[in-house]
Amino acid sequence: MSVALVWAQARDGVIGEGGGIPWHLPEDLAHFRELTGGSTVVMGRKTWDSLPERFRPLPARRNVVVTRQEGWTAEGAETAGSLEQALGSGAPGNTRRDGSGDGGQPVWVIGGGEIYRQALEFADRLEITEVDLEAGGDTRAPDAGPGWVREVTPAEGWLESRTGIRYRFVSLTRARTLREPAQS
């Protein structure tokens, strides 16, 4: 199973403020849609609640919401009582409740902060949009720690958004140890 995390973070590591994103970066939203389209997305309930109503559920994706609230439901969302349960039900190649599979797409973890921290140990890929500003919010990106290799991407340099904010896309993959066989 491939588990990927995707987020945007300011220079100070901030990813959120008051249940929202403290900047507007349309290019990052387009990048997010491109990465996650057609896949399973896993998020916490607070992240689900923070999505604008018109985007719930996120279109063209299977939406799995991790919540400890027993009985919580939302149209278009599947629920899981834990991250492990969400990842197990969303694994590529596993069968969905409706009998179809995910076609080998990664399971994308899309937030929030606590879900990212829990999911980091399962992840083999990180897609981070670095936003060139100090945001000063209340939710921070997890510390990836050692063991990640930065992939060279065409958009490696800083770009400027039509909103005037500088940003860049960074891809990280988990480094393999000598004893760990490559997955085919």
pLDDT-above-90 percentage for the chain? 78
Render 54-89 in DSSP notation, one character per residue: GGSSPTTSEEEEE--STT---TTEEEESSHHHHHHH
Half-sphere exposure of 13 (CA within 13 A, CB side): 8
- Which residues touch 122 (CB under 8 Å, ≥6 apart)? 3, 83, 87
pLDDT in tens, 44-103: 999 999 999 999 999 999 999 999 999 999 999 999 999 999 998 654 434 343 333 455
The partner residues of 171 in beta bridges, in order of sequence, read 127, 151
- The domain ranges of the chain are 3-174
Instruction: Reply yes or no: is the peptide bond before residue 112 cis, omega within 30 of 0.
Output: yes
Pick the CATH number of 3-174 from 3.40.50.300, 3.40.430.10, 3.30.870.10, 3.40.1190.10: 3.40.430.10
Place of tokens 């919401």: 65
Cα distance between residue 154 and residue 151, in whole Å? 10
CB distance 172 to 126 below 8 Å: yes
pLDDT in tens, 121-144: 999 999 999 999 999 899 999 999
- Which residues touch 12 (CB under 8 Å, ≥6 apart)? 134, 135, 136, 140
CA-derived radius of gyration, the chain: 16
pLDDT in tens, 10-53: 999 999 999 999 999 999 999 999 999 999 999 999 999 999 99
Predicted TM-score of the model (pTM): 0.86
Residue 5 pLDDT more than 80? yes
pLDDT-above-70 percentage for the chain? 85
